[in-house]
Structure 1
Amino acid sequence: MSGRRASGAMFGLAYGDSLGAPTEFLTMRQIHRRFGPDGPEGLDGDPALVTDDTQMAIAVGLGLLDALANPPFTPELVTPMWRRRFVDWLRSPDNDRAPGNTCLRACEGLEAHKPWVEATVTGSKGCGANMRVAPVGLAPGLTDETRAGASQLQAAMTHGHPTGLAASELTAFAVRWLADGTAPADLPGALRDRCLEQRAVYHERWLGTLWRRPGMPDPETFISRGWDECRDVLDRLVDAVARGDRATDPCEFTGAGWVAEEALATGLLCFLLFPDDPVRAIRRGAASSGDSDSIACLAGAFAGAHLGMDAWPAEWAGRIEYADELAKLGAAWD
């Protein structure tokens, strides 16, 4: 097994994002006509540009790095750090990559100094919740409870729907488990088990009164809805992996990925179809009819966490946009 798994995951998510960016709004027919049946072959341009997916993952990562440098790691410590990074992203001149409306709206509320529980978009479970969570999976030394709370909090600051929270936690744990050496084939079962174990667990210390926003009777009812939706899509994932169809649009099996639980499942599907070929995995994500950049971004994070930095083409590292930030985060956690 290769080393440098944190670098592998951070660069992998950016590579997938970059490969998927030009196909995000194309049909399968348009993708096949322009790129062939297997999608874009490699990075385009120098630098190869990424989207808001990578920008936001870096924001989460840098805020996390700041917080971990000032222990103990608590929600009170990290929340203002993430707020600052999200507002910096909102106002960045490079924030011109078709960012999601939920992220923009919530970050405007954060900029206006609203409590995040009021700034968040309550009903949104868009994939912006979990396309950026990989750093929380990569940071070493967190307890499971802290990793769960932090991954849900970073989602909840913009996406207040319980399924966005659960999908973000599962994404972070998938990255962590792969970096720790979990066999890819064991991942869907482990994630489904976590859905059942955590079904009634509401992390009040991290999420505060978020559960009250949609008029739920209690925190357990609120959060269980998210875990149930994730478990449903993981069941579809298990069926799709068993089928082993590497040629069909993966969105046909596990969804288009515009929402968090589908982005998780379809990104995982692309990785699990090619567990030892990371470039094929992200090309499969890019050659999809749905939210191709987010699907390929997640597939790249999973593949890099599993295989490490050396599994990616060596010449890509110098060409990807934000290489310095990606390298900083990877080196901190490798």
Structure 2
Amino acid sequence: MNSGNMQDTLDLEKKLRGYLFGTACADALGRPVEHLTLKQIKEKYGEKGILELPPNSSWTDDTQLMLVLARGLLHGAEFELPELMKHIAGELVLWLKEPDLGAGATTKGAALSLKDGIHWSESGLNSKTCGSLMRVGILGFIFSNDPDKLIEAASLSGRITHNHPTADAASVAGAYAVKLALDGIAPEDMFLPLLRVTEGISDEFTEALKHSYELAHSNLSDEEALQKLGQGWYADETFALAYFCILRYPDNYKKAVQTGVNITGDSDSVGSVAGGILGARLGIEAVPVSWVESLKEKEIIEEMVEPLIEKYLEVSENKHQVSEDGFGA
């Protein structure tokens, strides 16, 4: 491997670590306050809310399910999408044996259907909660050099559990935002590409995305604007809240995540979506070292880094080979 390739791989690894740990740390920061109102958060942690990750902090089902999806990708990202979905569905069934870290009824119900032999294309429930969005960012990494496959994989893998159009659009946006982040695109410049790749899927999602962008450029305070975007239990709101935070703080991982978790609503999901996107863009250096050190099971994430880099390189090489041979786009 020449020095240029080595440097590229090193930069890629920093961004992957940024995504993985950026997701997990934000998720863990939001975990203690997920079911509290903003008033209760302030009463417990002070006027600025929860700001730091205490030692031995655990993540929630958000990171757990992102890792489930990552394992599915390690088994089959190089295959055609129907085969890949079989691997992801299999990992969701295995996930049922893992500790319950707060998984939603939709994801759990779909996984139980898969366990009972329902085909992955029929297992999804008509729910617009954020369970599919919160796990899809890793697709944006693995398929960052194949945007068409990325978009289709985000949609199909999301619909294994959530087949509502709003959840579908959010899944596509969540994965594509990570791809844009890896490409060095600023949150401000993500707006039009995100509108384009989600066009026609869900009017509800489109309106939420536009509202997020408008409010981020308004004179409203973070607190006032976030309240207007909802509480994040539904996928359109989750993405809109997360996008608002990275628009306001595009170069400050810590501040964006702190803003995202200190809300009345799904603190850990909003935080983890924002944290994953910004972590991918800014790299692991942007994630506080003290937060990474405070993660209870950080070695689980650490063990995923090298296999995911190898899978990314394999998938990218396959894409390059197909293009050279003149097959496909």
Q: Same fold (TM over 0.5)?
A: yes
Paired residue secondary structure (2:263):
coil
Contact 2:143/2:150, CA 8 A, preserved across alignment: no
Q: Does the aligned pair in 2 maintain the 1:278–1:312 contact within 8 Å?
A: yes
Q: Which residue identity lines up with residue 106 of structure 1 in the other structure?
A: A
Q: What is residue 278 of structure 1 aligned with on the other side?
A: 253
Matched, 1:28 2:38: yes
Distance 1:278 1:246, change over 3 A: farther
CA distance in 2, matches of 1:267, 1:56: 18
The 5 A counterparts of 1:66-77 are: 66-68=75-77, 71=78, 73-77=79-83
Are the equivalent residues in 1 in contact too, given 2:23–2:63 (CA < 8 A)? yes
Q: Displacement of 1:185 after TM fit?
A: 1.3
Q: Which residue of 1 aligns with 2:234?
A: 259
CA shift for structure 1 position 43? 1.4
Distance 1:321 1:154 in 2: 28
2:110 is aligned, of 106, 128, 134, to 106
CA contact (8 A) 2:216 2:225 kept: no
Runs of 4+ aligned structure 1 residues displaced above 6 Å come to: none
Equivalent in 275, 287, 300 of residue 312 of structure 1: 287
Contact 1:131/1:298 (8 A) holds in 2: yes
2:105 aligned partner, one-letter code? N
Deviation of 1:253 after TM superposition, in Å, equals: 2.8
CA distance in structure 2 between the aligned counterparts of 1:246 and 1:171, rounded to whole angstroms: 25
What SS does the aligned partner of 1:318 have? helix
Q: Which residue of 2 aligns with 1:58?
A: 67
Report the CA distance between 1:250 and its aligned residue: 4.9
Deviation at 1:249, TM superposition (A): 5.2
1:89 equivalenced with 2:95 (yes/no): yes
- Cα displacement string for residues 143-171 of structure 1 (whole angstroms, at most 9, x for unaligned residues): 21110111111210111112111110111
Identical aligned residues as a percent: 30
SS at match of 1:44: coil
After superposition, give the CA deviation of every residue in 1:1-26 in whole Å (9 maximum; x if it has no partner).
x9411110111111111011111111
Distance 1:276 1:37, change over 3 A: farther
Q: Aligned residue for 2:180?
A: 177
Q: Which residue of 1 aligns with 2:323?
A: none
Aligned equivalents of 1:248, 1:53: Cα separation in 2: 24
SS at match of 1:120: coil
Match of 2:73, as an amino acid? L
CA contact (8 A) 2:144 2:150 kept: no
Structure 1 residue 38 displacement after superposition: 2.6
Two-structure CA RMSD over aligned residues (Å): 1.8
Gaps of 5+ in 1: 200-223
What is residue 217 of structure 1 aligned with on the other side? none
Contact 2:127 2:163 in 1 (8 A): yes
The answer for the alignment partner of 1:327 in structure 2 is 302
> Could you give the per-residue CA deviations for residues 158-202 of structure 1, whole angstroms, max 9, x where no partner exists?
111121111101111111101111122111232123333xx2xxx
CA distance in 2, matches of 1:152, 1:194: 11
Give TM-score scaled by structure 2 length: 0.85
In 2, are the aligned partners of 1:188 and 1:237 still within 8 Å (CA)? no
Deviation at 1:119, TM superposition (A): 2.2
8 Å contact 1:285–1:292 — kept in the other structure? Answer: yes
Per-residue CA deviations over 1:251-282 (Å, capped at 9, x if unaligned) read 31322111111111111111221111111111
Distance 1:315 1:252, change over 3 A: closer
- Give, in whole Å, the separation in 2 of the partners of 1:141 and 1:28: 36
Q: Which amino acid aligns with 2:300?
A: E
CA–CA distance in 1 between the matches of 2:142 and 2:221?
A: 32
Moved more, 234-243 or 74-83: 74-83
SS of structure 2 residue aligned to 1:8:
helix
TM-score by length of 1: 0.84
- The secondary structure found in structure 1 opposite 2:169 is helix
Residues 75 and 87 of structure 2 are in contact (CA less than 8 Å); yes or no, is this contact kept in structure 1?
Answer: yes
Contact 1:64/1:78, CA 8 A, preserved across alignment:
yes
CA separation of 1:85 and 1:179: change in aligned 2, threshold 3 A: same
Q: Does the 8 A contact of 2:208 with 2:237 survive in 1?
A: yes
Separation of aligned partners in 2, 1:38 and 1:296: 16
Contact residue 253 and residue 287 of structure 2 kept, 8 A: yes
Q: Which has the higher helix share?
A: 2
Read off the aligned partner of 2:68 and give its amino acid letter: A
